[in-house]
Amino acid sequence: MTEHLSRGCLAKRNSDREKQMKKVIESTDISKAFGSTKALNDIAFSVDESEIFGFIGPDGAGKTTLFRIIATLLLPDKGEMKVLGMDCIAGFKELRKNIGYMPGRFSLYQDLTVEENLNFYATVFGTTVKKNYDLISDIYSHIEPFKKRLAGKLSGGMKQKLALSCALIHKPKLLILDEPTTGVDAVSRSEFWAMLARLRQHDITIIVSTPYMDEAMRCDRVALIQNGSILTVAPPQKIRNGFSRKLFMIKASEKYKLIIALRKYPGTVTAYPFGDSVHVTFSDDSIDESLFRFLSKEGLSKVTAVETEAGIEDRFLELMKKGATV
- Nearer to another protein by Cβ, of 49 and 215: the residue is 215
Q: Does 110 bind another protein (CB under 8 A)?
A: yes
* Neighbouring C-beta atoms of residue 14, cutoff 10 Å: 11
- Nearer to another protein by Cβ, of 4 and 263: the residue is 263
Contacts of 175 (CB under 8 A, 6+ apart): 99, 100, 102, 167, 168, 199, 204, 205, 206, 207
Binding-site member from 11, 259, 287, 305 for another protein (CB under 8 A): 259
Q: How far apart are CA 92 and CA 70, in angstroms?
A: 10
Strand order in the sheet with 304-308: 268-274, 277-282, 247-251, 304-308
Q: How far apart are CA 120 and CA 20, in angstroms?
A: 37
Binding-site member from 17, 21, 35, 256 for another protein (CB under 8 A): 256
Binding-site member from 71, 81, 135, 280 for another protein (CB under 8 A): 71
The amino acid at residue 173 is: K
Q: Does 212 bind another protein (CB under 8 A)?
A: yes
- Nearer to another protein by Cβ, of 49 and 115: the residue is 115
- Nearer to another protein by Cβ, of 27 and 117: the residue is 117
Exposure letters 195-225 (e unless 16+ CB within 10 A, then b): bbeebbbbebbbbbbbbebebbbbbbbbbbb
Residue closest to 66 by CA, chosen among 48, 50, 85, 81: 81
Listed ranges 6-14, 77-85, 121-129, 283-291: which one lies at the site for another protein (CB under 8 A):
121-129
Region 135-194 residues binding another protein, contact defined as CB under 8 A = 155-157, 166-167, 182-187, 190
3 state DSSP class of 316? helix
Region 296-315 residues binding another protein, contact defined as CB under 8 A = 313
Q: Give the interface with another protein as residue ranges (CB under 8 A).
A: 57-61, 68, 71-75, 92-93, 96-97, 99, 101-112, 116, 119-121, 123-126, 155-157, 166-167, 182-187, 190, 211-214, 226, 254-257, 259, 272-276, 313, 316-317, 320-321
